[in-house]
C-alpha cells in the first residue's frame, strides 16, 4: 500500500467507509462506492454563485412576506392573505405550538439560512477571516432541513384547489415573489458546495492575520 497522509482521506457519513477523495472537475458528482451516498457535487464558481443567490433571496424575501399571496372572494366578502396571516390565525385560535412551527419553517429559518449563506460566502469571496465563520456554517447545516418553503408552496396549491370550488381566487404579487424565493433557495442549496466551503473556512482560519 502506498503511504498517504491520513488527512487526505475522508469518511462516508452514512456507512463510515474510508475513502480517498478524487480530484473533481466542475459538475462532477462524487458518490460513496459502498452505500451510494452523494458525497459532493462540485459546482462551478460555488462561492460567487452562493453570494449572488443569497443576495437575490434576501431581495425577494421582503415582497414574498409583505405582499398578499392569495386573495379570496366569497359572497361579496373579500380577503387577502399574506405569509404571516396563517401564523396569526393559528395563534389567534390558541394553537401557539403549531403557529410557532409554521412561523419557524416558513419564515424564520429560510431567512436565517439566506443570511448565513450571505455572511459566509461574502467572507469567503473577500478572503476575510472571521472567528464566527465555522459556527455560522454549522448552524447553516443544522437549520437547512427545517426550512420548508417547497412544502409550503405545495400547501398553497392544495389549499387553492380546495377553495376553488367554493370561492373566487386571485393570486397576488407576493405569490410570484414567493415562488421566486423558493427557486432561489433551491438553487442556493444546490450551488453551496459544503466540502469546498469547509476547506476554505479551514484555510482562512489558518491564514496568519
Partner 1 sequence: MKRLPGALRQGLIRCHDCGALAKQETVPHPCPVCGSPLQARIPDSLTRTMAFLLSGYALYVPANLFPIMTVTRFGVGEPHTILGGILALIDGEMLPIAILVFIASILVPLLKLLGLTLLWLCVFYRWQVNARRWTLMYRMIAFVGRWSMLDIFMISILISLVDLGGVAQVLAGPAATAFAAVVVITLFAAKSFDPRLIWDHQTHDERRIRLRNPRRLAE
Question: Residue 71 has what DSSP assignment?
Answer: E
In a 13 Å sphere around the CA of 11, the CA atoms on its Cβ side amount to 7
User: Which parts of 123-182 interact with partner 1 (CB under 8 A)?
Assistant: 134-135, 137-138, 141, 145, 148, 151-152, 154-156, 158-159, 161-163, 165-167
Question: Exactly one of 10, 12, 59, 189 binds Zn ion (CB under 5 A); which one?
Answer: 12
Question: Shortest approach of Zn ion to residue 137 CB, angstroms?
Answer: 10
User: Which parts of 36-95 interact with partner 1 (CB under 8 A)?
Assistant: 36-37, 39, 70, 72, 74-75, 77, 79, 81, 85-90, 93, 95
For residues 133 and 205, the answer to whether their CB atoms sit within 8 Å is yes
Question: Exactly one of 9, 62, 66, 173 binds partner 1 (CB under 8 A); which one?
Answer: 9
Q: Which residues contact 11 (CB under 8 A, 6 or more apart)?
A: 17, 18, 19
By CB under 5 A, tell whether 88 contacts Zn ion. Answer: no
Question: Shortest approach of Zn ion to residue 47 CB, angstroms?
Answer: 20
Question: Shortest approach of partner 1 to residue 61 CB, angstroms?
Answer: 18
Q: What is the layout of strands, in order, in the sheet containing 77-81?
A: 77-81, 70-74, 168-171
Quick one: which of 183, 104, 109, 178 has its CA closest to 139? 109
Amino acid at each position: 500500500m502506498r503511504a498517504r497522509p491520513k488527512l487526505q482521506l475522508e469518511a462516508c457519513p452514512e456507512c463510515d467507509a474510508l475513502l480517498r477523495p478524487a480530484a473533481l472537475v466542475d459538475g462532477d458528482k462524487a458518490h460513496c462506492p459502498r452505500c451510494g451516498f452523494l458525497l459532493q457535487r462540485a459546482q462551478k464558481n460555488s462561492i460567487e454563485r452562493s453570494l449572488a443567490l443569497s443576495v437575490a433571496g434576501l431581495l425577494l424575501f421582503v415582497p414574498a412576506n409583505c405582499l398578499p399571496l392569495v386573495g379570496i372572494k366569497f359572497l361579496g366578502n373579500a380577503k387577502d392573505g399574506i405569509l404571516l396571516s396563517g401564523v396569526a390565525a393559528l395563534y389567534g385560535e390558541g394553537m401557539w405550538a403549531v403557529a410557532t412551527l409554521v412561523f419557524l419553517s416558513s419564515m424564520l429559518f429560510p431567512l436565517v439560512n439566506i443570511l448565513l449563506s450571505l455572511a459566509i460566502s461574502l467572507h469567503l469571496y473577500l478572503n476575510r477571516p472571521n472567528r464566527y465563520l465555522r459556527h455560522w456554517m454549522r448552524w447553516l447545516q443544522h437549520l437547512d432541513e427545517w426550512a420548508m418553503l417547497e412544502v409550503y408552496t405545495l400547501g398553497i396549491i392544495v389549499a387553492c384547489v380546495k377553495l376553488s370550488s367554493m370561492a373566487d381566487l386571485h393570486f397576488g404579487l407576493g405569490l410570484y415573489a414567493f415562488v421566486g424565493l423558493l427557486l432561489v433557495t433551491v438553487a442556493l442549496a444546490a450551488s453551496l458546495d459544503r466540502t469546498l466551503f469547509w476547506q476554505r473556512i479551514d484555510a482562512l482560519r489558518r491564514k496568519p492575520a
